[in-house]
Amino acid sequence: MVDDSEDDAYLLRAELARRGLPMYCRRVDSALDMAAALASDDWDIVLSDHDMPGFDALAALEVLKRSGRDVPFIIHSGRISDRQAVSAMYDGVDDFIAKGDYERLVPVIGRELRGALARRAVRQADSRIEQLAFFDGLSALPNHQSFCARVEAAIAHARERGRTPAGVVMVVDLDRFLRINASFGYDTGNALLRQVGERLRAGLAVEVMLARLGGDKFGVFLPAVVERGEAELVARWIVHSFERPFLKQHIELFLTASVGIAMLPGDGRAVHELLMNAETATGQVKRSGGNGLRFFERTMNAASAERLALEADLRHAVERSELFLEYQPVVAAAGADIRGVEALVRWRHPHLGRLSPDRFIPLADESGLIGEVGAWVLGEAARQGRLWADQGLDLRVSVNVSAVQFSQPRLLETVSRALHDSGLAPAQLVLEITESSLMNDVESAVGMLRALKNMGVRVAVDDFGTGYSSLSYLKRLPIDIIKIDKSFVRDLGGDSRDVAIVRAIIALAGSLGMSTVAEGVESAAQADVLRAAGCDFFQGFHFSRPCAAEALVL
């Protein structure tokens, strides 16, 4: 109530309450008091006298307008002419009621309150629509559309002022995030994505735009940045920010991120080009193991085009029978008779010729084709193993399992189907899994290995010694075989440290009831050192190169 008379305000309050409008009200009679009242509470309506000493209804209306509040304003006065009342309504007054006319005042108040409520509902709906259109529902960060609009607006603003657009676009892609969803469920994955968003937002400057682009990818825009060094500082902070664990129900979970960087205007003049190039750089980081950063370079596009073409061809490689297996013998240290073989996939590309797995297995992992390729390799190796068994040969067939393949629950189904379709005894199949794959998520690895062991298959740790094994974890993993990496075997004749490492690995395996296979044995001298150290099996060019099944001398 804007009124200079406490008695008039009391009478108005009493009359409205008597007519069924109980209320909380506050009387003010100056611009300063009215501004303070509007700032302190959310008021439903303003009833104002018109003619007061030093303050009138039009001045009160201006105070309301400056506050930015959408509150109905009704003049309730006996000292205002019809001309003044009409003029006031043109200025924004919602109605004019003569003082004392309560029979008309009550329905007008009801009408204005309903109108204000309807406007508020419209504003809330508009706000919700904007939230859905421009903000990510999971993280509450701006979404892909909002990010693109902000970058394009910055580019357009610079051009309108005759300046060269400047800024940096980064794509932050979480490494191997699918294993979180696969191991702990989507609720945990979503909780971690929210935590990632909160951590990045808290650490980035206010003027930096952070958005969730979709899935496990985030976008960062540094406006007006022109120096690579400044961009690199921010990118390195982002990478290092993941060193602290994330918590879910008091469990510590560790993530890493790959950051790709594209700079205006050299790496693109439109937001979609910048994003595409930043993602290309991110892909380079991921192919190098992740947990790092790369600036975009033009040469990456040529490599990306080649990879896209190779991926398209790989999608048809199985159905066109372009994949084939070669087998490298695993021989016993005592007697050098063949006890098993390792199946190695090759690709006979129609245009590029014979391709080694280094050329296409990482691509299969990245593109999601590893499931199909891996299933074919398992099935074909098991089929060949059964053929040898039918010939009376007691050979174990080893098959490599990639990190991506190992993280997928359907691996169990793939192994089971290969054994069932081929008829190979489970004990004759050895799955080789790299040390780093096991240590990425030990808890999940333990569960997967136990499930495989329950099926009867054997498990080997490949490239042992090159990762970051913990003895406390190693003793928990149900492993049958440790394969000593060839990097330790290569210099066995001359490097005493390698000899010491190999002896330690063999002793460790023996104490845990595991057998050992030395990879990359290329000379009799290496074999002698390994035999003296107690290694159980050898594999390498000294005994045989990989060859077709029919070319093996068994």
Closest to 47 (Cα-Cα) out of 18, 16, 91, 20: 16
Instruction: Report phi then psi at 492, rounded to 5.
Output: -60, -30
Residue 1 maps to a domain: no
CATH number at residue 382: 3.20.20.450
Residue 208 maps to a domain: yes
Instruction: Give me the amino acid identity at 160.
Output: E
Closest to 443 (Cα-Cα) out of 470, 481, 410, 416: 470
Place of tokens 């309150």: 113
CATH number at residue 65: 3.40.50.2300
Whether the predicted model's global pTM rises above the 0.85 cut: no
Instruction: State whether 288 and 333 are in the same domain.
Output: no
Residue 304 maps to a domain: no
Instruction: State whether 227 and 81 are in the same domain.
Output: no
Instruction: Read off the tokens for 158.
Output: 């610079």
Residue that terminates a domain, selected from 133, 155, 173: 133
Residue 472 maps to a domain: yes
Instruction: Read off the tokens for 210.
Output: 């952070």
Residue that terminates a domain, selected from 133, 161, 193: 133
Instruction: State whether 251 and 148 are in the same domain.
Output: yes
Distance set, CA 397 to CA 271, 342, 408, 507 (Å):
51, 6, 22, 25
Instruction: Read off the tokens for 84.
Output: 């003044």
d(CA 213, CA 399): 37
d(CA 141, CA 295): 25
pLDDT (tens, 9 = 90+) of the chain, 554 residues, equals 999 888 888 888 888 888 887 788 899 989 999 999 999 888 999 999 888 888 888 899 999 999 988 899 999 887 777 787 788 888 888 888 888 888 888 888 888 888 888 888 777 766 666 556 678 888 989 999 899 999 999 999 999 988 899 999 999 999 988 878 777 788 888 999 999 999 999 999 999 999 999 999 999 999 989 999 999 999 999 999 999 999 887 788 889 999 999 999 999 989 999 999 999 999 889 888 899 999 998 877 655 666 778 888 898 888 899 999 999 999 999 887 899 999 999 999 998 899 988 888 888 887 788 889 999 999 999 999 999 999 999 999 999 998 888 888 889 999 999 999 999 999 999 999 987 777 766 777 888 899 999 999 999 998 786 655 556 667 778 899 999 988 888 878 666 788 888 898 899 889 889 999 999 999 999 999 999 999 999 999 999 999 999 988 77
Distance set, CA 125 to CA 118, 121, 133, 275 (Å):
11, 6, 12, 32
Query: For residues 397 and 384, is the Cβ–Cβ distance under 8 A?
Result: yes
Burial of 6 (0-12, 13-18, 19+ CB in 10 A): exposed
Instruction: State whether 157 and 122 are in the same domain.
Output: no
Burial of 200 (0-12, 13-18, 19+ CB in 10 A): buried
Q: What is the DSSP letter of 2?
A: B
- With residue 61 as reference, give the H or E element that holds it: helix 57-67
Q: What is the DSSP letter of 480?
A: S
d(CA 183, CA 135): 28
- List beta partners, residue 349: 353
Residue that terminates a domain, selected from 297, 330, 355: 297
Place of tokens 């009242």: 37
Instruction: State whether 431 and 388 are in the same domain.
Output: yes
Q: What is the dihedral of CA 270, 273, 279, 280, to 10 degrees?
A: -140
Quote the pLDDT of residue 368.
80
Quote the pLDDT of residue 230.
94
Instruction: State whether 316 and 173 are in the same domain.
Output: no
The boundaries of the domain holding residue 494 are 310-551
Which residues have a Cβ under 8 Å from the Cβ of 190 and sit 6 or more positions away?
138
Instruction: State whether 397 and 524 are in the same domain.
Output: yes
Instruction: State whether 254 and 350 are in the same domain.
Output: no
Instruction: Read off the tokens for 280.
Output: 């290309």
Residue 139 maps to a domain: no
Count of domains forming the chain: 3
Instruction: State whether 77 and 117 are in the same domain.
Output: yes
Instruction: State whether 431 and 542 are in the same domain.
Output: yes
- Per DSSP, the three-state class of 275 is helix
**What is the per-residue burial (b if ≥16 Cβ within 10 Å, else e) of 34-73?**
beebbeeeebebbbbbbebeebbbbebbebbeeeeeeebb
Instruction: Report phi then psi at 372, rounded to 5.
Output: -70, -45
- Per DSSP, the three-state class of 396 is strand
